[in-house]
Amino acid sequence: MLTAGSARGTASAGTGAAGFRPPRWQAEVLLGLALFGVYILVKVFALPGAHARALSNGQDVLAAERALGLDFELPINLWLADQGWLRIAANYEYAYTYIVTTLVLLVWVFVRRPEQYRWVRDSFVWMNLVSLAVFWVYPVAPPRMLTEFGFVDTVRLGPTWGSWGSPLVDSANQLAAMPSLHIGWALWTSVVLARLSGGRLVQIASALHVVLTFVVIVATGNHYWLDAVGGVLVVWLGMVPARRARERAERAGPHAGGLVVLLEAGDPGPSAAGVRAVLAERLPARMRRRRDHAGLWPRARREPDWAWHVPELDATTPDGEPGGLAVVHRLAAELAAEPWPRDRPPWRCALVTGVADDVAALVVLVHRAAGDETTAADLLRSVTREGRAVPPARGAASGPFGTVVLDRDRLDVPARQHAVPAADVLRCAVAGALRRVCPGPLPEALSVAVSGEPTAPLAAVPLDDLPETWRLTGIARLHGLRTRAGGLVRRVAGPHTPVCLGEVPVRTVLPLPLPAPGALVTLTALDWANSVTIGVLLDPAAGGDVERFLKEFRAVLDELHLDLRRG
C-alpha cells in the first residue's frame, strides 16, 4: 500500500510507496561474526575464579535435581557409553545437527521469506546475547566434568571430528552448560518453523529433533535437564522483540491490505453460507491461528466464528439502486475500523450484495497482526480453484476510490533505463500527479517510504514544477532526507490463473486501499498476470477528483516513456 500524507504548514509531507527492501547478506555475515566475537570475549574475559565457580554451580544444579528426585542423567550417560556405534552417532548429533538446522533455516528465510527475516534474525540474536550474559555471570560445568559422580565423557571415548573434543574447536567455552544452546537453537528452529510454515510434517519433524537433541545432550554428559529448561527460557526471551514489533504493528492500524473480489451474481448467486463452506473446506491451518497466542507457538481455534469472519453486507442504496464500488469501499473501511477480537484468526471475508445487477463482491481483509505470513492475496489463493478465463481488471473510478491498470513495463522499463528501483517510478508518478491535482500549497519535497513496514526509511521526492525525468533523477540525490511516514506501503501478488470461489466464477480482483490517517492519497498495487492494477483512494484535501489524479498519474508514466524513446 502506498500512502501520501501531508504535514500542513511545514516544509515536508509524509508518503508511503510500494516495495520491500530486503536485507543485505554482507551485513548479515558481519552481524554473525560480531555475535561470534562476543562469544569469544565471554570466554577470554571470564570473571575471576570462573572454573572453580563453574564446578560448584554444576554440583548445585545436580543437587537441585536430586532434591526433586529427577537426577536421571547418570544412568542414561553410562548406558550410552557402552553402545559403540550408537555412542558415536550421538556424539555427531550433538556436534552438528543443531548448527546445521539453524543455519539452513536462517538461509532459507533470508532467501525465500525475506520479509520475515528481520524478526527471525533479531529473535536469534537476542536469544544468544541473553545466553552469553548467563555464561559470563553464572558459569556451569557440564556433568561430564563432574567425574567424581561417575559421569563419562562419551566424546572422549570415541573422538568426534569437529566437536569440542577435537583440536578444531578446542577453544570452545566448556563452562557454558546453563542454558543449553543446543536445546535453545533446536527449539528456536521449531518455533520459527511453526510461525512461518503450517505444514504438519515439518512441525512434527522439528519437534522430534528437539526431543532427540534433549536425549543426546543428557546422554552424552554435556547437559543437565535443567539446562534444557534454561534453553526454553532464553528462546522465550528472544521472541519478546518479535512480539513487541507485532504489537506496534497492531497499534498502527487494523488492516494490512485488502482485495475486492467481484463475483458473478447469477441465480441463485453467491451466499455467505457458500463462502463459509468453501473457507471451512479449504482454509489452511496457518490461517486458522488466533492472534492471542500466549507462549512460543501460535494457538489455533478448532473452528473459526464463521458468522464474524464472513458477514453479509448489502450495498443497495436507500432508493433500491445498486451501490457500486463506492459503497463497497465505504463498507470495507467501516469493517476494517471495527475492533478485531484477539481470540480469532486475523482475517475477514465479507460478502457484499447489491453491488450491481449481476455482480456481488467479496471484501477480503487481513489484520496487520498477521504480518507478512498471511496477506489478502494469500487467503484468496488458498480458497479458490482454477476456473474459466477471467477478464483483466479495467480502470474505473467511483467516489474517492478508483483503479488503474498498467502494463508492468510501465514501471520496469523506466526503472531499468534510469537505474533506479521500480518503486522510485511509483514515487515519481505519485509526486507528479499530486503536483498537478492538489489545490493547496505543497512543500518543496514529498517524503516517500518504500517498504512493507511503516517505520521504514523515507526518500524525498522533489515537488518542483519540472520534467518528470528530472524528478525521477532527483530522487536519488535527495534520498538522504528523513521525515515521518504517512502510512504503510505494500505490493501484493494476485492470482495469475482463472479462478472460482466454490462454483461461483470470479470476474476480477481489485486491490483495496483503505484510509490512512493524514494521507492525501493511498495506493495499493496488485500484480495480475502481466499487468499491475493500482487501487487509489484520494483525500478531499488533494482535490478529491480521483479520475483526474489517475489521468495525471498515467500521464507522468507516459512522459517517462516518451523521454526514453527520444533519448
Most confident of the ranges 63-77, 372-386, 392-406, 522-536: 63-77
User: Which residue, among 543, 145, 207, 549, has the nearest Cα to 535 in the 3D structure?
Assistant: 549
Angle separating helix axes 225-238 and 200-219, nearest 10 degrees: 140
Residue 455 lies in a domain: yes
Among the candidates 383, 400, 432, a domain finishes at 383
Please check whether residues 289 and 424 belong to one and the same domain.
no
Which residues 6+ apart lie within 8 Å of 61 measured at CB? 140, 177, 178, 224, 226, 227
Contact 161, 96 (CB under 8 A): no
Please check whether residues 189 and 106 belong to one and the same domain.
yes
Please check whether residues 70 and 212 belong to one and the same domain.
yes
Mean pLDDT of 374-396: 65
Cell numbers at 532, concatenated:
499491475
CA distance 121 to 100: 16
Please check whether residues 169 and 278 belong to one and the same domain.
no
Angle separating helix axes 181-196 and 225-238, nearest 10 degrees: 40
- Ramachandran category for residue 257: left, alpha or beta (phi over 0 → left; psi -120 to 50 → alpha): left
Q: Over pLDDT 70: what percentage of the chain? A: 73
CATH number reported for the structural domain that contains residue 449 in this entry: 3.30.559
User: No. of H helices and E strands in the chain?
Assistant: 19, 16
Calculate Rg over the CA atoms of the chain.
Answer: 29
pLDDT at 268: 67
Q: What rounded mean pLDDT belongs to the chain?
A: 76
Most confident of the ranges 220-224, 429-433, 497-501: 220-224
Please check whether residues 2 and 57 belong to one and the same domain.
no
Strand partners, 512: 258
Among the candidates 357, 383, 409, a domain finishes at 383
* pLDDT > 60? residue 322: yes
pLDDT in tens, 363-384: 998 876 665 556 777 788 778 7
Residue 35 lies in a domain: no
Q: In what order do the strands lie in the sheet with 255-264?
A: 312-314, 347-356, 359-367, 255-264, 504-512, 499-501, 385-386
pLDDT in tens, 452-484: 333 333 445 677 777 888 888 776 565 443 332
Please check whether residues 199 and 76 belong to one and the same domain.
yes
Higher pLDDT among residues 101 and 392, named by residue: 101
In the chain the first and final C-alpha atoms are separated, in Å, by 32
Please check whether residues 113 and 238 belong to one and the same domain.
yes
Contact 209, 189 (CB under 8 A): yes
* pLDDT > 50? residue 540: yes
Please check whether residues 230 and 151 belong to one and the same domain.
yes
Sign of CA dihedral 91, 96, 99, 102: negative
Please check whether residues 407 and 549 belong to one and the same domain.
yes
Q: How confident is the model at residue 212 (pLDDT cuts 50, 70, 90)?
A: very high
Kindly report whether the global pTM for this prediction surpasses the value 0.75.
no
pLDDT at 138: 92
pLDDT at 448: 47
CA distances from 365 to 255, 361, 378 (A): 7, 13, 11
Please check whether residues 305 and 214 belong to one and the same domain.
no
CA distance 554 to 327: 25
User: Which residue, among 165, 231, 151, 171, has the nearest Cα to 41 in the 3D structure?
Assistant: 171
Please check whether residues 289 and 230 belong to one and the same domain.
no
At position 172, the amino acid (one-letter code) is: A
Mean pLDDT of 327-350: 85
Residue 126 lies in a domain: yes
- The DSSP output letter for 519 is E
pLDDT at 312: 93
Q: How confident is the model at residue 387 (pLDDT cuts 50, 70, 90)?
A: low
Paired sense of beta strands 445-450 and 396-398, if any:
unpaired
Please check whether residues 93 and 228 belong to one and the same domain.
yes
* pLDDT > 50? residue 3: no
pLDDT in tens, 107-157: 998 887 777 788 889 899 999 999 999 999 999 999 988 888 888 888 777
Number of domains in the chain: 3
Residue 250 lies in a domain: no
Strand partners, 526: 492, 533
Among the candidates 185, 213, 245, a domain finishes at 245
Residue 232 lies in a domain: yes
User: Which residue, among 135, 100, 129, 109, has the nearest Cα to 28 in the 3D structure?
Assistant: 109
pLDDT at 380: 81
Name the residue range of residue 397's domain: 1-21+392-495+510-567
pLDDT at 89: 87
DSSP result, 50-106: HHHHHHHHHHHHHHHHHHHT---HHHHHHHHHT-THHHHHHHHIIIIIHHHHHHHHH
Residue 185 lies in a domain: yes
Residue 466 lies in a domain: yes
CATH number reported for the structural domain that contains residue 286 in this entry: 3.30.559.10
Q: Over pLDDT 90: what percentage of the chain? A: 15
DSSP result, 241-301: HHHHHHHHHHHT-SEEEEEEEEEE--SS---HHHHHHHHHHH--GGGGB-S---SSSPPB-
Q: How confident is the model at residue 559 (pLDDT cuts 50, 70, 90)?
A: confident
* pLDDT > 80? residue 548: yes
Residue 502 lies in a domain: no
